[in-house]
Amino acid sequence: MYEIFNVYTASTSGIDSFKMPVFYQFYVPVLFVFISSLLIKDLMNPNLNWVTLLNNPYSLLSVGSIFLFVVGANMDDIMPIYKSLQVVLFVFVLVLLLPVFGKVKYYQGYVCANAFIPFFFISLYLKRYVVFSWGLLIGGLYFSNLSDYRIIAMRILLFVGLYIAFSICKKMNFLKVIVILVTGFCLYHFIANLGDILFLFKDIIGVKSFDDVDTRGFLWTEVFGDLQGSEFIFGKGFLGTYFSEYFLMILIHFQTYADHYERFSVEVGFLQLLLKGGFFWYFLYIAPIFYAFVKGIFWNGNNRLVLFISTFLFTELLLMFIENNPYFSFQYSLIFLLAGYSLKLMKQEQDVPVLKEETSQ
C-alpha cells in the first residue's frame, strides 16, 4: 500500500498529471464545508469525546477514503493496486491455513475477502493468475457459508450477474438503463422481504447450515424511527448515535450486552451515512463513486477494465443498502482508488486519437 500512497505526489508533480473532472472542483469545497458543519455539531454534543471523534474509523476518519479518488485518478497503471491485492490475499490464505490458537479468524478473513473480485477482474484483464483467481472466487462462495458472512457470496453473485448483463448490452445504453432499474427494483423487494428470500435461498441450495435469519430489516425501522426533522437531511454529526430497542431487549431478557442500545454505528452503509450526515452526506459521500460508475457504464470505449471497475462500483453501491458500512478501511480505500483510476483510463483512451493525429502532423 505504501507504493499507492506515493503515487499522488509523484504524478501531480509531473506535466502530464490527470486533470480532475469539473464536478470535482465544485465537489471538494462543498465536502469541506459540510464536514465542517458536522464538526461544529459534534462540538456542541454533550457527549463530545475527542478520542472517538478523531480516532474512531467510523467517525471523522471515515472521510479519509474519499480523497483516495484523487490518488487513483493520478495513477499511471493498475499494478500498485494489483500488488497490494496480492499481499492481502496472501494474508487471507495464511489466516485459513494457520489458524490462531486452533480457531480460524473469520473476521480478518472477511476483510481480506473484499479483495476477491478486484483481484479476479484485474487478473483477467492482465491475463495473470487466471486459474487461481477463478479458484479464489469460487472459494469465496464456500468461505461465505463457512464463516456466515453471507455478503461475500451475495457480492460475488451480484457482480458476475451484472457484468454479464452489461457485457450483453455493451453498445445499447437503453438496455443498460433497464438493467440498472430492474436491479434496483429487485434490491428493494429483496430488502423488504429479506427473511423470506433467505429462507427460499437456503431451501434451493440445500445447505442446512446457511444462516437465513434477517439481521438487517429491524435496523431500517430503528434508524428511521430515531431520526427527527432536519436530522434526515443533515444527520446527527460524526458522534451521532441512535437508540436500538432490539439491543435493549437483549439486555433485559438475556442480561447480556450483544451491543449497547445506544449505537454509534449501523451495519447498513446507507443508514450509517444517514445517521451521521443525513441524505446530504449520503449523496456527497457516494458522488465520486457514482460519477465513475455512470461514466464507465455508458462510455463507449473498448477498455474491458473500465467495464469491470464500473460493474464493481455499482455492486458496492447496491450493497450499501444491505451492508457495506462506510469507515476508513481497506474496502472503501480500494473502492475510491478504482473509481478514480477508471476515469484515468477513459481519459487516456479519449486522448489516443488526438496524440496520433498530432504525431502524423
Q: Model confidence over 333-350: pLDDT tens digits? A: 999 999 999 999 988 877
- Give the C-alpha distances (Å, rounded to integers) separating 1 from 88, 167, 203: 10, 31, 42
Alpha helix ranges (H) inside 20-78: 22-43, 50-55, 68-73
- 269-297 vs 304-319: helix axis angle to the nearest 10? 160
* 156-165, 175-184, 230-239, 350-359: least confident range: 350-359
pLDDT tens-digit map of 18-77 = 567 777 888 999 999 999 999 999 999 888 889 989 999 999 999 999 999 999 988 888
pTM, two decimals, is 0.86
Dihedrals phi, psi of 243, to nearest 5 degrees:
-90, 130
CA dist., res. 183 & res. 297, Å (int): 15
> Average pLDDT for residues 311-323, to the nearest whole number?
94
Pull the grid cell for residue 241: 448515535
Residue 361: what pLDDT? 38
Residue 350: what pLDDT? 73
Q: Is pLDDT of 15 > 80?
A: no
For 51, residues 6+ apart whose C-beta sits below 8 A from its C-beta are none
Residue 189: what pLDDT? 81
Contact (Cβ atoms closer than 8 angstroms) between residue 282 and residue 270: yes
C-alpha closest to that of 320 among 277, 352, 350, 285: 285
* 13-17, 78-82, 127-131: least confident range: 13-17
Contact (Cβ atoms closer than 8 angstroms) between residue 29 and residue 93: no
- 330-360 vs 304-319: helix axis angle to the nearest 10? 150
pLDDT tens-digit map of 204-219 = 555 555 555 556 778 8
R_g of the chain computed on alpha carbons: 21
First to last CA, the chain: 42
Q: What band does 8 get if pLDDT is binned at 50, 70 and 90? A: very low
Contact (Cβ atoms closer than 8 angstroms) between residue 296 and residue 313: yes
pLDDT tens-digit map of 273-303 = 999 999 999 999 999 999 999 999 998 778 8
Pull the grid cell for residue 286: 457516494
Query: For the chain, what percent of residues have pLDDT higher than 70?
Result: 80
Q: Which residue would you say has higher pLDDT here, 194 or 219?
A: 219
CA dist., res. 29 & res. 338, Å (int): 22
pLDDT tens-digit map of 241-264 = 988 887 777 777 766 665 677 888
